[in-house]
């Protein structure tokens, strides 16, 4: 069987059955080592990743990376967990930062410390594993950053200019700007001042700006305490009292897509979304797209987001060695620059940031600088096995109840905290 046909059959098998790609053929010692990569980037970002994988495959003869799209982050994670149980997981995948502690504590992630150059990758500290989580006892290196992001404020430059408004820097200024930018006719809103998905990531940003923390040092689910309540109440006021903010329909990334489309169509003057969509929004908008840091309250604060590359401990050693070669290549400044400038994600290599500065990239593309500048306000995530479950099972459903049904924010967060403690 030819290598090309084998690769095609492997790709079809993965697409239909969700099983891992890249099993070696010991009998065919002359062929390249195939390794599987499951990924979740869609749209333009998918095109960029597939282009980079193709370039890696063309750059050498010994390794062939077979990249397979597995849906959004949460869909891909569900497939990965199923594959781990079935012992059919790919050697490589990428997962959201909140789930890394859980997967590590479950013993399924390969420690990377001993791999060549693992300690000398030159990563941006705030985006790497070491800076993403609250300092605890030393942990093995199990995750490498690549598509890393923060939430930022986007606004329609033409609308803001017509309204003669400055970029809001505080919650009060955000509310006033949203009022000025909302367009109504006979009680019907044609343009919302602000649109923001009602989801964990954006709530954590607001909670942090109000001075709260997700968890205490002992792992107790604080959920921001009073700050978490204030974050929800800001949304409630803007949706129900000011009537200037639209909570987009849909859940998870469906709501994010609606937010982007409403912004591009002029139905929202300002939006909260990820820096990951920067290039997409710039290329598809018919107006000047501007970006700014999230407004603060008691302090400036943003969570980091996006995903980390991880390697499965159960994979054969020869696949892990081949996978490491690819991951190390992806961490190089050249690759992180290509990824960042093509998408809007942040470059994860320190040398890449320095090079972009020297070459004047951020001066020419100030929107790209926003997320990098926000890193000084980044909130570390707690290294807690329960973090992802607290997000998905305890908090996320109650955010929707509070905002869409206008239920009491304090009571709902108390319920979320109680559930988190009961399930521990």
Residue 190 belongs to domain with CATH number: 3.40.190.10
Res 24 pLDDT > 50 = no
What pLDDT sits at residue 4? Answer: 38
Q: How confident is the model at residue 424 (pLDDT cuts 50, 70, 90)?
A: low
What pLDDT sits at residue 30? Answer: 47
Res 12 pLDDT > 60 = no
Lowest mean pLDDT among 19-28, 64-73, 378-387: 19-28
Secondary structure (3-state) at 282: helix
Lowest mean pLDDT among 6-15, 186-195, 198-207: 6-15
Backbone angles phi, psi at 58, to 5 degrees: -75, -20
What pLDDT sits at residue 18? Answer: 37
Q: Which domain holds residue 219?
A: 151-303+386-422
Assess whether 56 and 77 both reside in one domain.
yes
Rg of the chain's alpha carbons, rounded to an integer? 22
Assess whether 415 and 281 both reside in one domain.
yes
Res 10 pLDDT > 80 = no
- Across the chain, what does the average pLDDT equal? 92
Dihedral sign for Cα atoms in the order 157, 162, 164, 169: negative
121-134 core/surface letters (b: 16 or more CB in 10 A; e: else)? bbbbebbbbebbbe
Assess whether 291 and 363 both reside in one domain.
no
State the Cα–Cα distance between residues 9 and 170, nearest whole angstrom: 54
Assess whether 74 and 136 both reside in one domain.
yes
Res 220 pLDDT > 70 = yes
Assess whether 274 and 407 both reside in one domain.
yes
Q: What is the pLDDT of residues 107-122, one digit of tens each?
A: 999 999 999 999 999 9
pLDDT (mean) for 145-170 = 97
Assess whether 51 and 124 both reside in one domain.
yes
Closest CA to 331 of 308, 311, 354: 308
Q: Give residue for tokens 């018919």.
A: 286
Q: What is the pLDDT of residues 68-95, one digit of tens each?
A: 999 999 999 999 999 999 999 999 999 9
Q: Give residue for tokens 């305490």.
A: 225
- Contact indicator for 259, 249 with CB cutoff of 8 Å: no
- Contact indicator for 77, 179 with CB cutoff of 8 Å: no
What pLDDT sits at residue 9? Answer: 34
pLDDT (mean) for 358-386 = 97
Assess whether 22 and 170 both reside in one domain.
no
Assess whether 87 and 125 both reside in one domain.
yes
What pLDDT sits at residue 110? Answer: 99
Residues 6+ apart with CB under 8 A from 415: 398
Lowest mean pLDDT among 17-31, 193-207, 407-421: 17-31
What pLDDT sits at residue 53? Answer: 98
What pLDDT sits at residue 26? Answer: 37
Closest CA to 370 of 153, 145, 178: 153
Last residue of a domain, one of 359, 377, 395: 377
Assess whether 216 and 363 both reside in one domain.
no
Backbone angles phi, psi at 286, to 5 degrees: -100, 15
pLDDT (mean) for 380-385 = 96
Assess whether 203 and 233 both reside in one domain.
yes
Assess whether 283 and 260 both reside in one domain.
yes
Total number of domains constituting the chain: 2
pLDDT (mean) for 192-208 = 98
309, β-bridge pairs = 94, 144
Assess whether 400 and 336 both reside in one domain.
no
């Amino acid at each position: 069987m030819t290598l090309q046909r084998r690769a095609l059959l492997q790709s079809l098998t993965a697409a239909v059955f969700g099983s891992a790609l890249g099993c070696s053929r010991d009998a065919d010692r002359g062929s390249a080592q195939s390794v599987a990569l499951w990924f979740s980037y869609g749209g333009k970002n998918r095109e960029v990743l597939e282009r980079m994988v193709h370039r890696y495959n063309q750059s050498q003869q010994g390794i062939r990376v077979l990249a397979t799209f597995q849906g959004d982050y949460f869909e891909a994670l569900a497939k990965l967990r199923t594959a781990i149980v079935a012992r059919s997981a790919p050697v490589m995948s990428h997962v959201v930062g909140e789930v890394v502690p859980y997967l590590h504590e479950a013993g399924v992630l390969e420690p990377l410390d001993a791999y060549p150059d693992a300690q000398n990758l030159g990563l941006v500290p705030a985006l790497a594993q070491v800076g993403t989580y609250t300092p605890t006892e030393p942990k093995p290196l199990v995750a490498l950053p690549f598509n890393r992001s923060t939430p930022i404020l986007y606004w329609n430059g033409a609308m803001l200019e017509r309204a003669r408004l400055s970029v809001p820097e505080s919650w009060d200024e955000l509310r006033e700007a949203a009022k000025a930018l909302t367009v109504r006719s006979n009680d019907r809103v044609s343009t919302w001042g602000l649109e923001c998905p009602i989801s964990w990531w954006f709530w954590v940003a607001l909670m942090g700006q109000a001075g709260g923390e997700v968890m205490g040092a002992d792992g107790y689910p604080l959920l921001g305490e009073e700050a978490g309540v204030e974050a929800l109440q800001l949304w409630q006021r803007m949706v129900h009292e000011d009537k200037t903010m639209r909570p987009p329909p849909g859940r998870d990334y469906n709501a994010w897509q609606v937010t982007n489309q409403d912004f591009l169509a002029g139905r929202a003057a300002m939006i909260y979304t990820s820096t990951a969509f920067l290039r997409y929004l710039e290329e598809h908008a018919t107006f000047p797209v501007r970006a700014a840091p999230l407004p603060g309250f008691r302090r400036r604060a943003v969570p980091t987001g996006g995903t980390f590359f991880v390697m499965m401990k159960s994979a054969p050693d020869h696949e892990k060695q081949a996978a490491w070669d690819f991951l190390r290549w992806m961490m190089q400044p050249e690759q992180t620059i290509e990824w960042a400038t093509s998408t809007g994600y942040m470059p994860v290599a320190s040398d890449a940031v320095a090079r972009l500065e020297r070459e004047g990239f951020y001066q020419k593309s100030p929107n790209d600088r926003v997320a990098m500048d926000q890193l000084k306000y980044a909130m570390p995530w707690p290294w807690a096995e329960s973090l992802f479950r607290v997000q998905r099972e305890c908090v996320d459903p109650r955010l929707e109840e509070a905002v869409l049904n206008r239920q009491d924010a304090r009571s709902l967060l108390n319920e979320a905290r109680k559930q988190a403690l009961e399930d521990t």
